Chains A and B, each alone.
Chain A
Amino acid sequence: GENVEQHPSTLSVQEGDSAVIKCTYSDSASNYFPWYKQELGKRPQLIIDIRSNVGEKKDQRIAVTLNKTAKHFSLHITETQPEDSAVYFCAASRSQTGANNLFFGTGTRLTVIP
């Protein structure tokens, strides 16, 4: 099955700085890579995703890059704000018609220091 590794497990940055979280995956057939933000005791919220036919996607302060050859993808948050503080999970799946099983990384606790 798919194995997703995520680093770092914790990350502290000063407000306004950038934050980068990296994930690797094992299944070369995986083709969908979402990122979720989870605040304490709440549901994971999809913040951005990328499919294997593109190498980069950006949405305002958030961007994701994908290197299929190396089987890794990264989340970049620029101009961080205190409200960005949360746990971030990457995931990978081999999407096809029907069920789309997500395999999650271990999470990164991001703290943005005002």
Chain B
Amino acid sequence: GAVVSQHPSRVICKSGTSVKIECRSLDFQATTMFWYRQFPKQSLMLMATSNEGSKATYEQGVEKDKFLINHASLTLSTLTVTSAHPEDSSFYICSAQPSGPYEQYFGPGTRLTVT
């Protein structure tokens, strides 16, 4: 149980275009989903927290107009990287939290490369 999927697993896009990444909880409902960014050989940095049906809460330094988050249902959250630039290239990982205040389950990640 507690499986989280992400799509796509890898994406290459041109500078200036937008990319959407989907995060789904497959066998549970997730009131809250989280989006992280991970640079090579570095830790996971929380970008934003999304709650179903409400606006996402962004961490300091994360541009909300650039990283659009939509938590449309209890099983789906999307992250859209708008007007992507090469410096946005990174590994983006989502996680989902079932009801209850503790465990998070991570998706497999999406490797974004902006050329």
Asked if A95 is at the interface (CB within 8 A of a chain B CB), the reply is: yes
- Chain B, interface size category, equals 20 to 34
Query: A42 near B102 (CB under 8 angstroms)?
Result: no
Q: Mark A62-93, 1 if CB is under 8 A from B, else 0.
A: 00000000000000000000000000010000
Asked if A60 is at the interface (CB within 8 A of a chain B CB), the reply is: no
Classify the secondary structure of A's interface with B. Answer: loop
Query: A101 near B34 (CB under 8 angstroms)?
Result: yes
Report which A residues bind B (CB closer than 8 A). Answer: 32, 34, 36, 41-46, 49, 51, 89, 95-107, 109
- Cβ–Cβ < 8 Å partners of B45 in chain A: 104
Query: B43 near A44 (CB under 8 angstroms)?
Result: no
Question: Lowest 5 A-B CB distances belong to which pairs?
Answer: A95-B101, A43-B106, A99-B32, A104-B43, A43-B108
- Cβ–Cβ < 8 Å partners of B44 in chain A: 44, 89, 104
CA of A99 to CA of B97 in the docked complex: distance in angstroms?
Answer: 8
The winner among A43, A95, A103 for most chain B CB atoms within 10 A is: A43
Of all chain B residues, the one with the shortest Cβ separation from A42 is: B108
Of all chain A residues, the one with the shortest Cβ separation from B60 is: A1
- Cβ–Cβ < 8 Å partners of B103 in chain A: 34, 46, 49
Classify the secondary structure of B's interface with A. Answer: strand
- Looking at the assembled complex, report how far the CB atom of B22 sits from the nearest CB atom of chain A, in whole angstroms: 15
Asked if B46 is at the interface (CB within 8 A of a chain A CB), the reply is: yes
CA of A90 to CA of B88 in the docked complex: distance in angstroms?
Answer: 25
CA of A98 to CA of B31 in the docked complex: distance in angstroms?
Answer: 8
- Looking at the assembled complex, report how far the CB atom of A82 sits from the nearest CB atom of chain B, in whole angstroms: 20
Query: B105 near A46 (CB under 8 angstroms)?
Result: yes
Beyond A96-B101, A98-B101, is A107–B108 a contact (Cβ under 8 Å)? no
Of all chain B residues, the one with the shortest Cβ separation from A102 is: B104
Query: A51 near B102 (CB under 8 angstroms)?
Result: yes
CA of A107 to CA of B45 in the docked complex: distance in angstroms?
Answer: 12
Residues 70-115 of B at the A interface (beta carbon under 8 Å): 93, 95, 97, 101-109, 111
